[in-house]
Every structure is written in structure tokens, then in C-alpha cells.
Amino acid sequence: MCGTCGCGKPDEAGTAGHVHESHAHDEHGHSHGHHGHEHATQTTTLIQVGQALLAENDRFAAQNRGLFDARKTRCFNLISAPGAGKTTLLEKTLEALRARSVGCAVIEGDQATDLDARRIAKTGVPVVQIETGRSCHLDAHQVQHALEDITLPAGGLLFIENVGNLICPTEFQLGEHERVTIVSVAEGHDKPAKYPLAFRTATAVVIAKTDLLAHVDFDLAEARRLVRGLNPNAPVFELSARTGEGMDRWLSWLQSPR
Amino acid sequence: MHELSIACGLVKTAVNEAERHGASRVVSIELVLGALTGVEPEALSFCFPMAAAGTTCAGAELKIEIEAAKGRCGRCDATSEVRDLMSPCPHCGGWPLGLEGGREMRVRALEVT
């Protein structure tokens, strides 16, 4: 590849900015083995940067956090694989919190459709959908735009249901106060070992669908051991949104002042 | 493939820094990536040229230095270099290890003309 302009890649002649001081692509039609040595003598300058790789996302996340804090809204980022039961847990959680007169709002992230948002809307809680299209995770910039379309419940809770994915969302802060990683017993107890960073970076872990334990080969003790090993401090909630088992402890944690 | 959006952010940072220093072209970018981050160096290197195309970073070399993590075994107290979160202690097989470092994700420097 040409060390100067990278034009060993597929031909992009004429692309704006793809021209540099010595020559332009269209002058020599991309057969430029002749100029490699010329550039080697160019003096270069080293600029120290020292900036976080995700600096732009982190900046938006910090702004989002400022918006949450100004309204005293506590924000939870829910992360799981597809089908772990995030939306069902959220529905039951919202219903229970409404009974306790806790104000809530939801941001739904999905690659496509507003099916989940429509499910959430039925609970009467304000919801805004982000369709990420080709993207596999939410980022703080998308969340900031979603916040333009929703009123944060003062003193209440905001849930962000991330795109179903245990890998991509992990390095993208959204400005959340708490990050909840959810695994269901239908998925297998080795999930934490396979996707360790999602459990490592969580501030709480939910083991969901415990009503199915009798029907699946899920070793609960092993799952606990793995989660504990990866994350000694996060509280672990074992619950079934369907039967309500374990929900009280989860709800109390959501509401507990921190 | 979250590395593509990370590569796009990286290019934006580099383009801005180069412009701020009056440079016309980015020759190389030095990146420090922790072993325990969710960014795959190979995937990032693969995505980078696509993100850089048509910018002052086009053709730039991406130099990634991996920052190792240290782990201390709770069972035998040995210290070792850790490659991933599930790595057991190489001395006694113990797990988990008390981890330190490996979470760095930083653009260290740019070489420009």
C-alpha cells in the first residue's frame, strides 16, 4: 500500500481530501510504485495527544449524566443478549414501580422496529425508540438525541434498554448511573465466562427467568461463581419477571437512594 | 462490529488534532489498548482504513500497543500477566485473580507532516 495516501485500497480517485502535496491520484492512475522513496525523506512531527479513544462518546455521556443529575433522575443501562428477557423484566418492573408511585421513562434501543417501544407504551410509561439501523450498540450521542423527545421524571428512574448484544455495548458509556447486565437461565450458566466484560463492567447482575430452572440444565451455583469471580461487588438478583419471584429485592434496589 | 464506530471516532480525533497543529497529513497514529478492554485490535485495524478514507488520515499506519494487565492470585499470591478476564493463575490454576490495569484506551500520539 502507498504509505502516503493509502491508495493500495480500492480505487477512490477523485475522493475529496484524497490528494496530498506531492501528487494527486488522477495524475498517475494509481500505479505509483515510483514514489515511495520520495516520501521517506519527508520530515514528520510527533504530536502528543493523550486523549481517550472514546473521548467523543465519553463527552456526550458526561453531558447526559449532567441532564440526569439536574432532574435527579437515576439512569439504568440494561444490557443482555437478545432474548434474555429485558423487555419483559422492564414491563413488570414499570408496572410495579407505578404501583409504588415512582415516575419512570424508557429509552428503547433496537436495530429495527418499534415493537419493544409499543410493548412498553402499553404500561403508560413515556418511551422513546432509537432504531440503531446497522449499529450493534447504543452510544451516548444517540441517547442525547432521544432525550430531546422525552421528559425525564424528576426524582424518578430512566431505563435505557440497550440493543440485545453482550459485546458491543460494553465500552460505550451512556451517562448511566447503573449498568445492569442480564442473563437468563435459558441461555446457559457459562454465559458470564463467554462474555466476561459485560459482567465485569456491570454494577448489578440479573439472573432472569428463574421459573425455568426446573426445565433447563442451568447450574445456578456455577453461574454465581463466575459472576462473583468477574465482579465481586455487584449485587446479583435472581428473579422471574413472570412469576414475580425475587422481584421485590430488585425493585427495592432500583429505588434505594445511593 | 463496534470497532467501526470506534475507528470513526479515532479518525475524527486525529483529523482535529492534525488540523489544530497545522498538519496536512497523518502518517501514523499510536494507540494504547488495554488487554481487558472490549476493543479487538485486529478488528480495529481492519476497520481503520475505511474510516480514514477521504480524510487526512487516509493511508496512515495504526500502531497499537497492548497494555497488559496484572493479576494477583488469591490462592497462591503469585503475580502474573493477564491476557483476558477468564485467565487462571499460571502457577496454581486459581481463579479469579485480583486484576490491575489493562483498561487503557488512549490515543497517545500522531506522526504528521
**Tell me, what's the ipTM?**
0.91
Crossing angle of helices A55-70 and A140-147, in 10° steps, is: 30
**Residue A45 to residues A175, B14, B24, B88, B109, Cα–Cα distance (Å):** 36, 14, 11, 43, 10
Residues A60 and A186 placed together within one structural domain of the fold: yes
Q: Which residues of B touch A229 (CB under 8 A)?
A: 95-96
Q: Which domain range does residue A106 map to? A: 55-255
Q: For chain B, give the mean pLDDT.
A: 95
The answer, for B60 touching chain A at a CB cutoff of 8 Å, is yes
Residues A175 and A222 placed together within one structural domain of the fold: yes
Residues A11 and A130 placed together within one structural domain of the fold: no
Residues A98 and A8 placed together within one structural domain of the fold: no
Over the stretch A181-209, which tens digit does the pLDDT of each residue have? 999 999 999 999 999 999 999 999 999 99
Best probe of the A interface among B20, B44, B107, by most A CBs < 10 A, is: B107
Q: How far is B91 from chain A (nearest CA, A)?
A: 18
Inside any domain, residue A49: no
Inside any domain, residue A50: no
Residues A40 and A67 placed together within one structural domain of the fold: no
Q: Which residues of A touch B109 (CB under 8 A)?
A: 46-49
Report chain A (258 residues): mean pLDDT per 10 consecutive residues.
36 38 40 45 88 94 98 98 95 96 95 86 94 86 96 97 94 97 97 97 98 97 98 97 98 92
Domains of chain B, first to last: 3-68+101-112 (3.30.2320.50)
Residues A32 and A119 placed together within one structural domain of the fold: no
Pairing of strands A127-131, A178-184: unpaired
Indicate which CATH number applies to the domain containing A201.
Answer: 3.40.50.300
Query: What is the C-alpha to C-alpha distance for residues B50 and A168, in angstroms, rounded to an integer?
Result: 19
The answer, for B9 touching chain A at a CB cutoff of 8 Å, is yes
Angle value at C-alpha B70, between B69 and B72, nearest 5 degrees: 145
**Of A27-41, B66-80, B94-108, which range is least confident?**
A27-41
Q: How far is A130 from chain B (nearest CA, A)?
A: 17
The answer, for B55 touching chain A at a CB cutoff of 8 Å, is yes
- Residue in chain B lying closest to A198 (CA): B38
Question: Which residue's entry shows cell 455495548?
Answer: A169
Helix H segments across A21-70?
Answer: 25-28, 36-40, 55-70
**Residue A81: its pLDDT value, please?**
96
Residues A59 and A19 placed together within one structural domain of the fold: no
Inside any domain, residue A235: yes
Residues A32 and A148 placed together within one structural domain of the fold: no
Inside any domain, residue A154: yes
Q: Which residues of B touch A53 (CB under 8 A)?
A: 6, 9-10, 13, 31, 33, 39, 105-107
How many domains, chain A?
Answer: 2
**Residue B15: its pLDDT value, please?**
97
* Partner residue facing B9 (CB), from A4, A57, A169: A57
Inside any domain, residue A191: yes
